[in-house]
Amino acid sequence: MSFVEYAELIQEGDVAIIFMGHDSMFPVKVQQGAQTQTRYGVIRHSTDLIGQRFGAKVTCSKGGWVYVLHPTPELWTLNLPHRTQILYTTDIANITMMLELKPGSVVCESGTGSGSLSHAILRTIAPSGHLHTVEFHQQRAEKATEEFQEHKVGHLVTVRNQDVCKDGFGVTGVADAVFLDIPSPWEAIGHAKSAIKRQGGRLCSFSPCIEQVQRTCAALTEQGFGEMCTLEVLLRTYDVRSVSLALPDFGPEDPLQTGPDAPLTGPTPTPTPRSTAGRRCHPET
């Protein structure tokens, strides 16, 4: 199992997503002899998971059933352990598109955080690209490194525990794209410029406050970046359902007038006689 390569069968050591509903799922690490408790009963890894196909319908000990899904960056975003605030698929899709990421791209990212965006980047740039991700917090950097190895994408990513605003990304002139998700991105613009390749290259900064955006745009202008734009991505979810509406009461129908061309019901207005006031009359000759 790998987050960038699909596998048919579940094996020991794989990460699988136990799917009980769109609002109820969680990841498990498959281990020989282990058990996972659900509200439908126990899932025994040795007999219920190992050797089964991803996507299989598994019956639990109480007779209920769940689906066992292959992990993807989208599913991992919904189920990962939150070490920081994360980016969700709505923003991730726009970021990967605007950065023009593709297989073979070299990307610099700061900060790593919980790894939500990192996994989406890795799937996009595989099999020959590389991600250089920087995380200021030591424990978060170590946990991210451990997860990348567990998800079999460690060969595609280098994790550095350092302050990107002071020490940069650790590479020079190689990045096709740079992504910043830090409190003061304007302090890292110079290091981002150094990391980006000489010809082309794109930079994206994600900030929740417009004041951060303004300062970052000013720093980009000072460093000679061009074609800047600011986007706000909004997600609107619709609840589609059927409703019954009562017909309005237009009053009783006129029994003398029926058919599709009949006028609206109601009393017939009395015609008003024309007034001759002010009209000059000429006698006949």
Q: How far apart are CA 125 and CA 156, in angstroms?
A: 9
On whether 46 is known to bind a ligand per the annotation, the reply is no
On whether 117 is known to bind a ligand per the annotation, the reply is yes
On whether 239 is known to bind a ligand per the annotation, the reply is no
On whether 116 is known to bind a ligand per the annotation, the reply is yes
Q: How far apart are CA 49 and CA 67, in angstroms?
A: 10
Nearest to 168 by CA among 146, 147, 189, 149: 189
Pairing of strands 57-59, 65-69: antiparallel
Beta-sheet strands, E only, within 136-250: 157-161, 177-180, 202-205
Q: How far apart are CA 185 and CA 199, in angstroms?
A: 22
Per the CB < 8 A criterion, the answer to whether 45 and 30 are in contact is: yes
Question: Which position has the token pair 């659900």?
Answer: 38
> Which residues does 252 contact at the CB level (< 8 Å), separation at least 6?
265
> Which residues does 166 contact at the CB level (< 8 Å), separation at least 6?
none
Q: How far apart are CA 118 and CA 144, in angstroms?
A: 9
On whether 254 is known to bind a ligand per the annotation, the reply is no
Q: Which residues are annotated as a binding site?
A: 114-117, 135, 163, 181
Binding residues for S-adenosyl-L-methionine: 114-117, 135, 163, 181
